[in-house]
Amino acid sequence: MDLRKLRHATVLARFLSFTKAAESLNLTQSALSRQVAALEEALGIALFQRKHRALALTPAGKAFHRSIGET
């Protein structure tokens, strides 16, 4: 597992904004989106629910976020 992808997902879960998370990680929104999508594919679960101009954690995403020490 690529630890960068875990970190990127953690930051995205904290901000719930691709724009803010990408800025804090010095990435483009597109690069961050690809990293998180690759992590979700590797895990076989959706961590985020993507809506038009909105982002939310799925139940699995909430559990993931709690399990890595973020609140």
Q: How confident is the model at residue 1 (pLDDT cuts 50, 70, 90)?
A: low
Query: Quick one: average pLDDT of 37-61?
Result: 94
pLDDT at residue 16, as a whole number: 95
Contacts of 24 (CB under 8 A, 6+ apart): 11, 15
The continuous run of DSSP H or E covering 38 comes out as helix 29-43
Residue 68 phi/psi, 5° resolution? Answer: -100, 15
- Tokens standing for residue 28: 């483009």
- Identify whether the C-beta of residue 55 lies closer than 8 Å to the C-beta of residue 17: yes
**Does the model's pTM come out above 0.85?**
yes
Q: What confidence tens digit (pLDDT) does each residue in 12-45 have?
A: 999 999 999 999 999 999 999 999 999 999 999 9
52 has pLDDT over 90: no
